[in-house]
Structure 1
Amino acid sequence: MWIGWLEFDLLLGDVHSLKQKRSVVRPIVAELRRKFNVSAAETNSADLHRRSGVGVAAVSGDRGHLVDVLDAAERLVAARPEVELLSVRRGLSRSDD
């Protein structure tokens, strides 16, 4: 079994409150979950209104499939016009490591 994760560091556009931040981040998290059947959540910077961290995790029996899913999730977030993707951290491991 392969386990993979991504951690996105996002700079949000014209956001001036935590309420506006939620209205930008929630749809991204929901789309990641829906399109790729992954676990996704806001993971850090909860008290900052222009920054957000979003984490994604997935499990697969095939490493190639897992890499494809993570690559597609990264492209989806990078293509969102309302956020700037500052950095992405990625991890892959095998369950018997």
Structure 2
Amino acid sequence: MWIGTLEFDFLLGDVHSLKEKRSVIRPIVAEIRRKYSVSVAETDHLDLHRRSGVGVAVVSADAAHVTEMLDTLERHAASRPEVTLLSARRRLVSSDEL
């Protein structure tokens, strides 16, 4: 089994409150979950209104499939016009390493 994770660090545009932040981040998280059938959640910068950390996890029997999914997810995150992707940290682990 292979486990892949991505941690996105987003900078939000014209956002002035945590309520506005939620209205930007929630649709992104929901779309990633629905479109790619992966685990995803807002995980960092919870108290800042112009930054957001979003974590994604993918599990598969094939390392190549996990890598392909992580590439696709990173391209999707970078293409969102309402946020700027500051960084994407990636990790690929075999269950034998755990």
User: Which category of TM-score, normalised to the shorter sequence, fits these structures?
Assistant: over 0.9
1:26 corresponds to 2:26: yes
Gapped regions of structure 2 (runs ≥ 5) = none
Deviations 1:30-88 (A, max 9, x none): 11111111100000101100000000001000111111111111111100000000001
Matches within 5 A, 1:28-43: 28-43=28-43
Gapped regions of structure 1 (runs ≥ 5) = none
C-alpha separation between the residues in 2 aligned to 1:68 and 1:29?
19
TM superposition outliers: structure 1 runs of 4+ over 4 Å: none
Aligned counterpart, 1:70: 70
Q: Number of residue pairs matched?
A: 97
Deviations 1:13-44 (A, max 9, x none): 11001010001000111111111111000001
C-alpha separation between the residues in 1 aligned to 2:66 and 2:92?
9
Percent identity of the aligned residues?
A: 69
Aligned counterpart, 2:2: 2
Q: Report the secondary structure of 1:96's partner residue.
A: helix
